[in-house]
Amino acid sequence: MNVLAFFAHPDDETMLAGGTLALLARQGVQVHYLSATRGEGGEAGEPPLCSLEDLGQVREEELACAVAALRGSSLDFLGYTDPRVGPDDELYAYSDDLKQVARQLASQIRQLNAEAVFTHGVNGEYGHPAHVLTHRAARMAVESFTEQAPILYGVSAAFQEHPRPRLTNQDNPAHLVLEIGPAREQKTRAALCHRTQHALFLRRSSREAGRQLSVPEVIIPLEGLHRILPPVTDGLDDEIARLLQPWAYEPPLA
């Protein structure tokens, strides 16, 4: 089985769904990774690990390291440039041409013969415009298939026990919640690959904890999935759900 994991920036794949994707790889699934950008607009670390001019190349290498840790089968990029963060931490999408992004993604789906796609949720998790664009493009791409359309799953689905509700898509209730224990070490190793983003990973959680945390301490052990297409009407009955069932944390929540 081929699965395509499509996200906006390097590190999204790990922090939002790394455990899920690693568990699928353990089940023999070929998980292919596709990033819309190289994360050129992100942080370079504290202290900086590279110049802003080199950040895209460095984050590409970090993503390759993470994909290897998650036992991914391939990695590719759509080639969009990640915009720099604006005044007052304003975030931006990487394109204003939704249809073009969707066409490119549909081409990747056909090339890989992907039977399922994982991507950002409808709210872009915490409202990031690039995440929202990626979600919309994924939905449009999947809907463009008249036959043999892949299953579309959104990550960071909302459920009551989620340790960081701010990172969930409140309009995507979880259909499946996974306890990623067997893959937590892989998810941690993948997160450690994203060295330029460690300060970002730790900043808010350390402030809330009142002490400096480490990367392993902020790895979320539960991950929620919402099946976007086809819509869930009477429980999950697809191959993805069956493969992940051994790690289901509790019965479906919606």
List the CATH number of the domain containing 128. Answer: 3.40.50.10320
Tens digit of each residue's pLDDT, the chain (254 residues): 999 999 999 999 999 999 999 999 999 999 999 999 999 999 999 999 999 999 999 999 999 999 999 999 999 999 999 999 988 889 999 999 999 999 999 999 999 999 999 999 999 999 999 999 999 999 999 999 988 999 999 999 999 989 899 999 999 999 999 999 999 999 999 999 999 999 999 999 999 999 999 999 999 999 999 999 999 988 888 999 999 999 998 644 44
pLDDT value of position 254: 44
Give the residue numbers spanning the domain of 71: 2-250
d(CA 46, CA 86): 19
**Domains of the chain: total:** 1
pLDDT value of position 207: 96
pLDDT value of position 89: 87
> Alpha helices of the chain — where are they, by DSSP H?
12-26, 55-69, 98-112, 124-127, 129-143, 184-193, 198-209, 239-244
Structure tokens at 107: 């081409």
Residue 10 main-chain phi, psi, to 5 deg: -60, 140
Structure tokens at 149: 């359309």
pLDDT value of position 253: 46
Structure tokens at 11: 């590190």
The residue written with tokens 């944390």 in the block is 249
